[in-house]
Amino acid sequence: MNHLIFATNNQHKVDEIRSVLGTKFNIITLKEAGIHIDIPEPHDTLEENASEKSTTIFNLTGQDCFSEDTGLEVPALNGEPGVKSARYAGENRSFDANIEKLLANMAHKEDKTARFRTVISLMLDKKEYRFEGICKGRIIPEKKGENGFGYDPVFIPDGSEKTFAQMGMEEKNQYSHRKKAMEKLIAFLNK
Protein backbone atom coordinates (compact mmCIF):
# COMPACT_ATOMS: atom_id res chain seq x y z
CA MET A 1 0.00 0.00 0.00
CA ASN A 2 1.20 3.52 -0.84
CA HIS A 3 1.42 6.01 2.01
CA LEU A 4 0.78 9.69 1.50
CA ILE A 5 0.58 12.44 4.09
CA PHE A 6 -2.45 14.67 3.58
CA ALA A 7 -1.47 18.17 4.73
CA THR A 8 -4.70 19.27 6.38
CA ASN A 9 -6.20 19.67 9.83
CA ASN A 10 -9.76 19.54 8.43
CA GLN A 11 -11.35 16.19 9.36
CA HIS A 12 -14.24 16.71 6.87
CA LYS A 13 -11.74 16.86 4.03
CA VAL A 14 -9.94 13.75 5.32
CA ASP A 15 -13.24 11.81 5.47
CA GLU A 16 -14.26 12.90 1.96
CA ILE A 17 -10.90 12.05 0.46
CA ARG A 18 -10.68 8.68 2.22
CA SER A 19 -14.12 7.83 0.82
CA VAL A 20 -12.81 8.50 -2.70
CA LEU A 21 -9.43 6.78 -2.39
CA GLY A 22 -10.47 3.24 -1.49
CA THR A 23 -7.86 0.85 -0.19
CA LYS A 24 -5.00 1.31 -2.65
CA PHE A 25 -3.61 4.44 -0.98
CA ASN A 26 -3.26 5.02 2.72
CA ILE A 27 -3.77 8.60 3.79
CA ILE A 28 -1.89 9.71 6.87
CA THR A 29 -3.24 12.85 8.47
CA LEU A 30 -1.00 15.49 10.02
CA LYS A 31 -2.20 14.42 13.44
CA GLU A 32 -1.34 10.79 12.72
CA ALA A 33 2.09 11.88 11.45
CA GLY A 34 2.62 13.70 14.77
CA ILE A 35 2.70 17.11 13.11
CA HIS A 36 0.85 19.73 15.09
CA ILE A 37 1.11 22.96 13.16
CA ASP A 38 -1.32 25.41 11.65
CA ILE A 39 -0.22 25.59 8.06
CA PRO A 40 -0.16 29.16 6.76
CA GLU A 41 -2.33 30.22 3.80
CA PRO A 42 -0.77 33.63 3.12
CA HIS A 43 -1.22 33.89 -0.65
CA ASP A 44 -3.75 35.39 -3.07
CA THR A 45 -4.38 32.24 -5.09
CA LEU A 46 -5.53 28.71 -4.30
CA GLU A 47 -2.55 27.42 -6.31
CA GLU A 48 0.05 29.22 -4.19
CA ASN A 49 -1.64 28.26 -0.92
CA ALA A 50 -1.86 24.60 -1.94
CA SER A 51 1.86 24.66 -2.82
CA GLU A 52 2.71 26.39 0.46
CA LYS A 53 0.97 23.63 2.42
CA SER A 54 2.52 20.67 0.59
CA THR A 55 6.04 22.13 0.51
CA THR A 56 5.83 23.03 4.23
CA ILE A 57 5.00 19.42 5.08
CA PHE A 58 7.54 18.02 2.61
CA ASN A 59 10.27 20.21 4.10
CA LEU A 60 9.33 19.03 7.61
CA THR A 61 9.08 15.31 6.83
CA GLY A 62 10.91 14.62 3.57
CA GLN A 63 7.96 12.38 2.68
CA ASP A 64 5.55 12.28 -0.25
CA CYS A 65 2.49 14.32 0.59
CA PHE A 66 -0.33 16.35 -0.84
CA SER A 67 -2.49 19.27 0.18
CA GLU A 68 -5.55 20.93 -1.19
CA ASP A 69 -6.97 24.42 -1.12
CA THR A 70 -10.59 25.12 -2.00
CA GLY A 71 -12.54 28.30 -2.56
CA LEU A 72 -16.11 29.26 -3.39
CA GLU A 73 -15.94 31.60 -6.39
CA VAL A 74 -18.98 33.81 -7.04
CA PRO A 75 -19.00 35.87 -10.28
CA ALA A 76 -21.53 38.41 -8.90
CA LEU A 77 -19.03 39.11 -6.07
CA ASN A 78 -16.05 39.43 -8.41
CA GLY A 79 -14.86 35.93 -7.54
CA GLU A 80 -15.17 36.34 -3.75
CA PRO A 81 -14.98 34.74 -1.23
CA GLY A 82 -12.50 32.71 -3.33
CA VAL A 83 -9.16 32.21 -1.66
CA LYS A 84 -10.55 33.92 1.46
CA SER A 85 -13.44 31.42 1.83
CA ALA A 86 -12.38 30.23 5.29
CA ARG A 87 -11.91 33.79 6.60
CA TYR A 88 -14.63 35.65 4.66
CA ALA A 89 -16.29 37.11 7.77
CA GLY A 90 -12.94 37.70 9.50
CA GLU A 91 -10.13 35.70 11.10
CA ASN A 92 -11.34 32.76 13.23
CA ARG A 93 -14.97 33.23 12.16
CA SER A 94 -17.40 30.33 12.02
CA PHE A 95 -18.95 28.64 8.98
CA ASP A 96 -22.26 30.30 10.01
CA ALA A 97 -20.74 33.80 10.08
CA ASN A 98 -19.20 33.24 6.63
CA ILE A 99 -22.55 32.04 5.25
CA GLU A 100 -24.35 35.04 6.75
CA LYS A 101 -21.97 37.43 5.07
CA LEU A 102 -22.28 35.59 1.76
CA LEU A 103 -26.09 35.63 1.88
CA ALA A 104 -26.16 39.33 2.79
CA ASN A 105 -23.86 40.15 -0.13
CA MET A 106 -25.91 37.99 -2.52
CA ALA A 107 -29.35 39.27 -1.45
CA HIS A 108 -29.73 41.78 -4.30
CA LYS A 109 -27.63 40.05 -6.92
CA GLU A 110 -29.46 38.61 -9.89
CA ASP A 111 -26.70 36.23 -10.90
CA LYS A 112 -26.74 33.48 -8.26
CA THR A 113 -24.19 31.25 -9.98
CA ALA A 114 -21.14 30.06 -8.08
CA ARG A 115 -18.50 27.40 -8.29
CA PHE A 116 -16.27 25.52 -5.93
CA ARG A 117 -12.71 25.14 -7.13
CA THR A 118 -10.19 22.79 -5.55
CA VAL A 119 -6.48 22.79 -6.26
CA ILE A 120 -4.42 19.80 -5.10
CA SER A 121 -0.66 20.07 -4.80
CA LEU A 122 1.22 16.76 -4.74
CA MET A 123 4.87 16.48 -3.71
CA LEU A 124 6.14 13.20 -5.12
CA ASP A 125 9.83 12.29 -5.34
CA LYS A 126 10.69 15.93 -4.58
CA LYS A 127 8.65 17.28 -7.51
CA GLU A 128 5.37 19.19 -7.39
CA TYR A 129 2.29 18.33 -9.47
CA ARG A 130 -1.06 20.15 -9.42
CA PHE A 131 -4.62 18.99 -10.12
CA GLU A 132 -7.81 21.04 -10.33
CA GLY A 133 -11.47 20.16 -9.79
CA ILE A 134 -14.46 22.45 -10.39
CA CYS A 135 -18.12 22.08 -9.39
CA LYS A 136 -20.56 24.62 -10.84
CA GLY A 137 -23.82 25.49 -9.13
CA ARG A 138 -25.75 28.28 -7.45
CA ILE A 139 -26.25 29.99 -4.08
CA ILE A 140 -29.69 29.82 -2.45
CA PRO A 141 -30.97 32.53 -0.06
CA GLU A 142 -31.31 30.37 3.05
CA LYS A 143 -29.57 27.36 4.56
CA LYS A 144 -30.87 23.86 3.84
CA GLY A 145 -29.51 20.61 5.29
CA GLU A 146 -27.29 19.57 8.15
CA ASN A 147 -24.48 17.55 6.54
CA GLY A 148 -21.06 18.55 5.30
CA PHE A 149 -19.27 21.75 6.23
CA GLY A 150 -18.46 25.28 5.14
CA TYR A 151 -20.86 26.69 2.54
CA ASP A 152 -22.54 23.31 1.87
CA PRO A 153 -25.99 24.42 3.24
CA VAL A 154 -26.35 27.23 0.67
CA PHE A 155 -24.79 25.62 -2.44
CA ILE A 156 -26.77 23.55 -4.97
CA PRO A 157 -24.62 21.88 -7.64
CA ASP A 158 -25.84 21.91 -11.26
CA GLY A 159 -27.85 18.76 -11.98
CA SER A 160 -29.36 18.55 -8.48
CA GLU A 161 -32.13 20.26 -6.51
CA LYS A 162 -30.46 19.54 -3.16
CA THR A 163 -27.78 21.50 -1.36
CA PHE A 164 -24.54 19.67 -0.58
CA ALA A 165 -25.67 19.73 3.07
CA GLN A 166 -28.79 17.72 2.14
CA MET A 167 -26.64 14.99 0.59
CA GLY A 168 -24.68 12.13 2.10
CA MET A 169 -21.01 11.93 1.28
CA GLU A 170 -21.49 9.53 -1.65
CA GLU A 171 -24.06 11.79 -3.27
CA LYS A 172 -21.88 14.88 -2.74
CA ASN A 173 -19.02 12.98 -4.36
CA GLN A 174 -21.04 12.62 -7.60
CA TYR A 175 -20.63 16.37 -8.07
CA SER A 176 -17.81 17.44 -5.82
CA HIS A 177 -14.90 19.67 -6.86
CA ARG A 178 -12.67 17.81 -4.38
CA LYS A 179 -13.62 14.42 -5.83
CA LYS A 180 -12.86 15.63 -9.38
CA ALA A 181 -9.44 16.90 -8.35
CA MET A 182 -8.82 13.65 -6.43
CA GLU A 183 -9.71 11.56 -9.48
CA LYS A 184 -7.02 13.36 -11.46
CA LEU A 185 -4.54 12.78 -8.62
CA ILE A 186 -5.43 9.08 -8.44
CA ALA A 187 -5.14 8.64 -12.22
CA PHE A 188 -1.70 10.25 -12.04
CA LEU A 189 -0.58 8.05 -9.13
CA ASN A 190 -1.85 4.95 -10.94
CA LYS A 191 0.16 5.73 -14.09
Catalog residues that contact ligand IMP under the rule CB under 6 A: 10, 41, 69-70, 72, 85-86, 95, 98, 116, 148-152, 164, 178
Q: Which is nearer to ligand IMP, 129 or 149 (CB)?
A: 149
Calculate Rg over the CA atoms of the chain: 16
Longest Cα–Cα distance in the chain: 51
Query: How are beta strands 81-82 and 65-73 bridged, if at all?
Result: antiparallel
Q: How far is the CB of 46 from ligand IMP (least distance, A)?
A: 8
| HSE of 84, CA atoms in CB hemisphere, 13 A | 17
Q: How far is the CB of 9 from ligand IMP (least distance, A)?
A: 9
Q: What is the dihedral of CA 19, 25, 29, 34, to 10 degrees?
A: 160
Annotated catalytic residue within 69, 96, 152, 158: 69
Q: Which is nearer to ligand IMP, 52 or 152 (CB)?
A: 152
Q: What are the beta bridge partners of residue 132?
A: 119
Nearest to 31 by CA among 8, 4, 53, 48: 8
Closest residue to bound ligand IMP by CB: 150
Catalytic, 69? Answer yes
Q: How far is the CB of 176 from ligand IMP (least distance, A)?
A: 6
Q: Which is nearer to ligand IMP, 95 or 129 (CB)?
A: 95
The residues annotated with a catalytic role in the active site are: 69
